[in-house]
Amino acid sequence: LLRNAGEVEFHQATREVFESLGRVVLRHPQYADASILQRICEPERQIIFRVPWIDDSNRVQINRGFRVEFNSALGPYKGGLRFHPSVTLGTVKFLGFEQIFKNALTGMPIGGGKGGSDFDPKGKSELEIMRFCQSFMTELYRHIGEYTDVPAGDIGVGGREIGYLFGQYKRITNRYESGVLTGKGVGWGGSRARTEATGYGAVFFTEQMLATRGESFDGARVLVSGSGNVAIYAIEKVHQLGGVVVACSDSAGVVYDKDGLDLDLLREVKENQRGRLSDYAALRGSASEYRAGGNIWSLAAETRIDVALPCATQNELHEEDARVLAANGVRAVAEGANMPCTPDAVRVFTEASVLFAPGKAANAGGVATSALEMQQNASRDSWTFEHTEERLAEIMRGIHESCATTAEEYGEPGNYVLGANISGFTRVADAMLAQGVI
């Protein structure tokens, strides 16, 4: 506790995983003998650095940059960069810890890492964003590489930021090393379907869970929190599968369109205009209701909701929200975001037999497709959208299968939290055992 003092989210994430592992260690004492549990929650390396940059008023600004290289048992460190004012070392460590098991679940050869900065991209000009990204990479470049550590995007880091980061890496190193970052533009080494992958993957996983009870998205009414990269493509896939997403959110409010969101308009506002949901609601007119500061989950008490997909940020769905969802007949909840449901909320879902998919399983489609991007870069190839999406769907089916089988093996069929934690852990732990005390 002292070693990680004040890192509340990191404590939450480790506790959640360790709660599943008691029975694993009883069955496999070799993990305890080799202190795998103690080793796995200590990052292999943590880098913290100063990021100085000059704003549009010619003032020097200072932010803090992080990269936590958590575990390389299965491959080079892999995980996104988050730019958000709330980012601390504890945030990056919680995300990096989750990433270890998520990446293992994909079955791809990638270790776990995460990074970011407390830089706030909101309200910054295009040039300020570029100068910040260039300064951030001017330090980060010495720690990353195709065979060591491969960052990607996360909150506040999308295609634009990856472009500036890649440009600076190339400039400093004089190497066109495509495999050093993922989430690149399709025209310069990026993978088709990467932008869509996390949201699509979460919906594919939910589809598999629903199928275990003979249900599907066809005709389902769905809530998706957030309105960023993950949320937008979760909405798109739900609509393609015959469901209707009736609400989404941002940190300022909720839009509720009782007959379904207008995805084309949402994308135009969010992706092209970089606007807010209040702008969407204004353009959509009477078909949309905007609730400033509203709680998206409370809509389940007003209208029929079948599926909830939290896709914004950590700890955004609380025990009370879970009670409202469960009491009003929600059948499945899948975490598109990382750790969006508090531990108490997860307990409510489990006790109410609501199908529940933890983020490390449900949102693994993004990093899996990043690994597919690395494959394409390594072979100097570029796959079609259809082929890449089919690979993604196959990987998500595989993750569902391994979580379900493991939960059953350990006596709790349908417990995807247990299945994901144990299945991810054993793959990493076995590799760590094989590689000795390092």
Residue closer to ligand NDP, measured from CB, 61 or 251: 251
**What are 66's strand-pairing partners?**
48, 116
Buried b (16+ CB within 10 A) or exposed e, 312-330: bbbbbbbeebbbbbbebeb
For residue 30, give the H/E element and its range: helix 29-33
Piece of the chain touching ligand NDP by CB under 6 A; list 64-72, 333-341, 405-413, 428-436: 333-341
- Cα separation, 310 vs 296, whole angstroms: 10
Output the six-digit token pair for 303.
Answer: 């209208």
Residue closer to ligand NDP, measured from CB, 24 or 395: 395
Q: What is the 3-state secondary structure of 96-138?
A: HHHHHHHHHHHCCCCCEEEEEECCCCCCCCHHHHHHHHHHHHH
Do residues 281 and 249 touch, judged by C-beta distance below 8 A? no
Piece of the chain touching ligand NDP by CB under 6 A; list 22-30, 34-42, 226-234, 373-381: 226-234
The reply on whether position 228 binds ligand NDP by CB under 6 A is yes
The reply on whether position 251 binds ligand NDP by CB under 6 A is yes
State which of positions 357-416 bind ligand NDP (CB under 6 A): 363, 366
The reply on whether position 90 binds ligand NDP by CB under 6 A is no
Three-state secondary-structure class, residue 27: helix
Angle, in degrees to the nearest 10, between helices 416-434 and 89-106: 90
For residue 334, give the H/E element and its range: strand 332-334
Residue closer to ligand NDP, measured from CB, 40 or 339: 339
Q: Identify the residue among 72, 103, 134, 198 touching ligand NDP (CB under 6 A).
A: 198
Strand order in the sheet with 289-292: 289-292, 253-256, 244-250, 221-225, 307-310, 332-334, 355-357
Task: Report, in Å, the least distance between residue 407 CB and ligand NDP.
Answer: 22
- Longest alpha-carbon distance in the chain: 64
Size of the site for ligand NDP (CB under 6 A): 23
Residue closer to ligand NDP, measured from CB, 338 or 350: 338
Residue nearest to ligand NDP (CB): 228
Task: Report, in Å, the least distance between residue 39 CB and ligand NDP.
Answer: 25
C-alpha angle with apex 109: 168 to 197, nearest 5 degrees?
A: 65
Output the six-digit token pair for 295.
Answer: 């709680």
- Compose the 138-167 pattern: x for residues touching ligand NDP by CB under 6 A, - for all others: ---------------xxxx-----------
Q: Identify the residue among 90, 163, 190, 226 touching ligand NDP (CB under 6 A).
A: 226
| 114 tagged catalytic | yes
Residue closer to ligand NDP, measured from CB, 207 or 373: 373
Closest CA to 39 of 435, 414, 355: 435
Task: Report, in Å, the least distance between residue 217 CB and ligand NDP.
Answer: 20
Piece of the chain touching ligand NDP by CB under 6 A; list 26-34, 203-211, 248-256, 374-382: 248-256
Active-site residue (options: 78, 102, 114, 360):
114
Distance in Å from the first CA to the final CA of the chain: 22
- Compose the 274-313 pattern: x for residues touching ligand NDP by CB under 6 A, - for all others: -------------------------------------xxx
User: Could you list the active site residues?
Assistant: 114
Q: Site residues (CB under 6 A) for ligand NDP?
A: 153-156, 198, 226-231, 250-252, 311-313, 316, 336-338, 363, 366
